Structure 1
Amino acid sequence: MLIASKLIAPEFGNPLPPDVFERMPTKTLVARLGLVRYLDSPSGFFDILPLGKVFVDEVIGRLREFAVLSGFQEVSMSPVQPAALMERSGRLEIFSRDVYRLPEHSMKALLSPAHEEYVIEMFRSLGLKRAASLPITVFAFDTVLRRKRNRSAGGLAWTPMIPGFISYSVGASYEQLRRLGSEISDAFVSLFSDLRIPTIPVSKGEDFVDFVTESEFGRENLRCCDHGHPIELSSTTCGECGGDARSKRVLSLAMHFIPGASHAEHAKYRVQHSGSSFFPVLSTSGLGLTRILMVVVDRGRSGDALRWPSGFAPVEVAVRSESELDASQALSMARWLSASEVRVLLDDRYPWGPRMSAGLRQIGVPVTVTIGQDDVFHIAGQDNDTFEARSPAETLEIVRRLLGKNS
């Protein structure tokens, strides 16, 4: 349960004028609404604040459910890895200026820009060498720092992903991992459907698929509007299909990639089968959780309100009382709803006014419960439908129906 007077969202009580709310750039709006806090600029590093964390955790929960039901195993990988792993695979020169020394460990290290080498070393050192047990998939929700070419920065610049869903699979063959990749891709598509995000799967060869969506803050990933092929900014037609190359700014939300057996070869990691051995194949999948948050907010603005996809609102119900004298009743109702697995904000601000109501609409609260006189509970939905209830149980029933949780 969240409490309005303690909420870490400094502008919550200062809603935007409707026209500003509709026009404000999404990267600025998510900070204004108290979903994130930027450490430097909207293009840099940031913290996820409580409201944004609830949304991200809901997405994580759905991804974790899929992964666990699929037999994947969750791990938490070190944010630091030995530079020797990257040196062995030949990728260290890309990150060489980011290497530093840990004196107490006598080891050169770097912040993990990728985990392919790390995962192969994990499997090798743990002695996972039976081909019959493959494929094996591990997954994590981790922060990954990547260097990407940034024109405005004049070269390579750190790009934070906070946090991301990452999975790594080790299999006996490409075909085995392609089937597994199809299952993971289907899970991504199902999640995007629940989030009401239209995506285009863009193939970059047989073993790389990128899931992109049109976005105001898309950068260099420009695609033709017919098939989503990569295009140059100056192109008028698509070089692959000849289609119209009107530039659409798109954002990559997820990907699945099979880099192959090269990482196992570099690590001299072999698995055994029928008296012989071979190098296993590696595949990786990733999904940017905070990118999804940005896109959902961007697409969810409607008039002066934010509308979250069903089941993803950080706050599902705001509970308040008309009089401060009934504050204890509001607290009891908030606790009752929270215990019934409803995400609740106890609005303990007095006196109540239109600006407070506007603030709730702008963070996307779909249902409000007001404790009235004579123990009447007034319930209002986001579409201005109103109800009255005479008991907490009846209130919960109406709330669940408005939230679509009765099915």
Structure 2
Amino acid sequence: MAKMKNTKKLSDMVYACSGIGDCRIAYRWAVGRYGVCPVLEHSPQFDPFYARGKIRIAKGLLEEELEPSEGLARVMYQCTTCGNCHSTCHQTLCEEIILPIGRFIDHTKLFEAMRADLVEEGLGPMPRHKEFLEWAKKEHNPYMEKHEDRVKWIPKGKTIPQKAELVWFMGCTEPYRQPELAQAFLKILEAAGVEFAIIHPNEWCCGSVFFRTGVWDLAEELAKHNLEALKASEAKKVVIHCAGCFRTIAKDYVELFGELPFEVIDAVELIRDLMKEGKLKLQKANVKVTYHDPCHLGRHMEIYDAPREILEMMPGVELVEMKRIKDASWCCGAGGGVKSGFPELAVEIAKDRIKEAEETGADYIITACPFCVKNLQDAAEALKSKIKVADIVELIAENLA
């Protein structure tokens, strides 16, 4: 029988689930919640494709009534780890009035532990993820790119120091796949006169994709390396413009190593503060936008206000909200390895969000995550939508005075 050692450590969570089922479909108009699980909406409508069913699977595995299988693994990896089931469970009547069940269960943590057990059983991750992990062992990134090309996006002749009180952890996605986002953030930092450093060639993949998909040995190896590199940089503060990297370093690293010797902030927090201090001068934009909350930045790290404050401070920008925002926000569909493992499913989920954004009449759907940008762009293209998708740093960089 399977050992399921990581799931066993969280067995109290498994048995805390009362099976109410709000994680399947919960409509609470008062708090703007319309639906819960984006995967369930685009999958066979039965239990294993949403949180309660996955917890039932965990129970069956722990009690040896189920055996791990390839089919079971495919179901477990069809989860964006968006955390909407978690926030919904927290809002149940049972949690608020009778017993704090929902607040005790960390759904994302449990599902990632189950994936880690499937990896140890040789049933995970998915084939495409296995390609990523082999390359990351070799070149420290999951994108089949050479390690030295992590800084290829930096303009020729531009030199960035390796030591400073503020260090920018670049991540993999922007340097290798969306250099325009990194260049936009660089432009903002320079316009505000911010002194900063990068730790290349010592920066490796943060490990997010491997934490999420259960390849924890590699994730921990990458994390240990980056922690030492950041310590050596003499950083007092680390800024990150990637929701996945931010969540990983600010949360997963802390869980692994304890309190970090530096503060970790997301780019939107830094930019908001720079704007409040009058260090960024912007011209009038004359555009209507709606904001999409990335799951890793929002539900996982509870950063909802900073990006909205930025948009509200930008001259000529009108912010109009979608019907599902903040902790009730609908996932873009790209997280948890779904974009790479099940790309068609990822785009189908993103189409829901594009349609919701169109209802606002906005010119742009703005977000603060490179994964969200890419998947929402793919969905907008598939729908032939007129709405434009952009990261908040692009909107700012384009409107610097």
Q: Report which of the two has the higher share of strand.
A: 1
Larger of the two Rg values belongs to structure = 1
TM superposition score normalised by structure 1 = 0.24
Length-normalised TM-score, structure 2: 0.24
